[in-house]
């Protein structure tokens, strides 16, 4: 059993994952790092995986020091490459002893209208957000969950109304939504639940770095229309992931939780404007933990 402290101020009981082993792809920063911190705080052994080997090692060390959980490992992996995924899954089983939870969080895209999109750019985003998570699911299933059961959470992005300027990611996430549902049916008899979390606009350090200040300042027009009237925090996404992984969600499979402050309810034809307010503040962890996400 791994020992940890709940410095991340998770709302969950601190021992709920004390006999669990987890992989979080893209756990080096942002939402994935928050999920890894929360899982580690709740006692899980955790492997985080991303492409930048120095960053993933530093993040593993940072999660160890934040949570006091010694069983945190950083493994370099590109989820787009089958051999890299095979190595990740094998090394994770060697280090952790098994894989009870898989969080397919790694992913991303770049803004670009279809008329300017290259085939290479299209493929890169499809591979990052559909093919990669698929081979992660398949490898974890073949190597461990088929015999032992488990719980998988796929991180998607809103896709139901199309995704102008991000057609590649819209198509990939729509595919992941369908794959989540299919796997929940095909793998139920193996004791595996498969669900998804759909974050809205979650603004954080690496997201701003990736898109640039200009893009994120454009998002401000959107912020005023969101019923909650703010962006989300990585912690708010992490809480939904931990809920789905936990036994509290034992009757949930093939489902998804939208964590977007009501953003997807906005329609261009709506005559209703949410009055300005600050009555629904963000759930955030302590500053000394938050600054490290």
As measured in angstroms, the least distance from the Cβ of 112 to ligand TC6 is 5
As measured in angstroms, the least distance from the Cβ of 84 to ligand TC6 is 13
Among candidate residues 197, 206, 201, the one with its CA nearest the CA of residue 255: 197
Closest-by-Cβ residue to ligand TC6 is 108
Q: Which two tokens stand for residue 189?
A: 């008899």
Applying CB under 6 A, the residues found at the interface with ligand NDP are: 25-26, 28-32, 50-52, 55, 77-80, 105-108, 128, 132, 155, 157, 199, 201-202, 206-207, 210
Residue 108, burial from CB neighbour count under 10 angstroms (0-12, 13-18, 19+): middle
**How far is Cα of residue 152 from the mean position of the Cα atoms in its chain?**
11
Q: Which of 2, 50, 69, 109 binds ligand TC6 (CB under 6 A)?
A: 109
Which residue's CB is nearer to ligand TC6, number 144 or number 159?
159
Check binding of 201 to ligand TC6 (CB under 6 A).
yes
* Spatial distance between the Cα atoms of 99 and 122, rounded to a whole number of angstroms: 31
As measured in angstroms, the least distance from the Cβ of 185 to ligand NDP is 24
Check binding of 56 to ligand TC6 (CB under 6 A).
no
Of the ranges 38-46, 87-95, 106-114, 240-248, which one interacts with ligand TC6 (CB under 6 A)? 106-114
As measured in angstroms, the least distance from the Cβ of 145 to ligand TC6 is 26
DSSP string, 34-69: HHHHHHHHTT-EEEEEES-HHHHHHHHHHHHHHH--
Binders in 113-142 for ligand TC6, by CB under 6 A: 118, 120-121, 124-125, 128
As measured in angstroms, the least distance from the Cβ of 162 to ligand NDP is 15
Q: Which two tokens stand for residue 236?
A: 């708010």
Strands 256-259 and 150-155: unpaired
Check binding of 98 to ligand TC6 (CB under 6 A).
no
Which residue's CB is nearer to ligand TC6, number 12 or number 110?
110
For helices 30-41 and 205-223, angle between their N-to-C axes, nearest 10 degrees: 110
DSSP at 247:
G
| 95 C-beta neighbours (distance < 10 Å), count | 14
As measured in angstroms, the least distance from the Cβ of 147 to ligand NDP is 26
The answer to whether 69 and 41 are in contact (CB under 8 A) is: yes
User: Binds 118, which of ligand TC6, ligand NDP, none (CB < 5 to 8 A, cut-off by type)?
Assistant: ligand TC6
User: Binds 112, which of ligand NDP, ligand TC6, none (CB < 5 to 8 A, cut-off by type)?
Assistant: ligand TC6
Among candidate residues 26, 12, 73, 82, the one with its CA nearest the CA of residue 45: 73
The answer to whether 61 and 2 are in contact (CB under 8 A) is: no
The answer to whether 2 and 69 are in contact (CB under 8 A) is: yes
User: Binds 120, which of ligand TC6, ligand NDP, none (CB < 5 to 8 A, cut-off by type)?
Assistant: ligand TC6
| 258 C-beta neighbours (distance < 10 Å), count | 18
* Spatial distance between the Cα atoms of 123 and 133, rounded to a whole number of angstroms: 14
User: Binds 125, which of ligand TC6, ligand NDP, none (CB < 5 to 8 A, cut-off by type)?
Assistant: ligand TC6
Check binding of 28 to ligand TC6 (CB under 6 A).
no
Q: Which residues of this protein are in contact with ligand TC6, per CB under 6 A? A: 108-110, 112, 118, 120-121, 124-125, 128, 157, 201, 207, 210
């Amino acid at each position: 059993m791994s020992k940890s402290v709940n410095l991340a101020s998770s709302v969950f009981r601190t021992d709920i994952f004390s006999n669990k082993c987890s992989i979080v792809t893209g756990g080096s920063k942002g939402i994935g790092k928050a999920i890894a911190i929360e899982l580690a705080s709740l006692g899980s052994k955790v492997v985080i995986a991303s492409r930048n080997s120095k960053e993933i090692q530093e993040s593993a060390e940072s999660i160890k020091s934040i949570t006091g959980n010694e069983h945190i490992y950083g493994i370099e992996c590109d989820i787009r490459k089958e051999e890299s995924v095979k190595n990740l899954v094998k090394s994770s089983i060697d280090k952790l002893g098994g894989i009870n939870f898989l969080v397919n969080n790694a992913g991303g895209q770049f803004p670009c209208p279809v008329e300017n999109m290259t085939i290479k750019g299209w493929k890169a985003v499809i591979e990052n957000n559909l093919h990669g998570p698929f081979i992660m699911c398949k490898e974890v299933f073949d190597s461990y969950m088929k015999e032992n059961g488990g719980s998988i959470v796929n991180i998607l992005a809103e896709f139901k109304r199309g995704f102008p300027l991000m057609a590649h990611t819209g198509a990939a996430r729509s595919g992941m939504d369908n794959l989540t549902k299919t796997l929940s049916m095909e793998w139920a008899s193996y004791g595996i639940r498969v669900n998804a979390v759909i974050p809205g606009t979650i603004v954080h350090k690496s997201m701003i770095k990736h898109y640039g200040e200009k893009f994120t300042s454009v998002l401000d027009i959107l912020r005023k229309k969101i019923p909650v009237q703010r962006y989300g925090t990585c912690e708010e996404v992490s809480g939904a992931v931990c809920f789905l992984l936990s036994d509290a969600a034992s009757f949930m499979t093939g489902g998804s939780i939208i964590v977007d402050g009501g953003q997807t309810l906005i329609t261009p034809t709506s005559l209703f404007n949410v009055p300005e307010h600050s009555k629904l503040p963000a759930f955030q962890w302590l500053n000394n933990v938050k600054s490290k996400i």
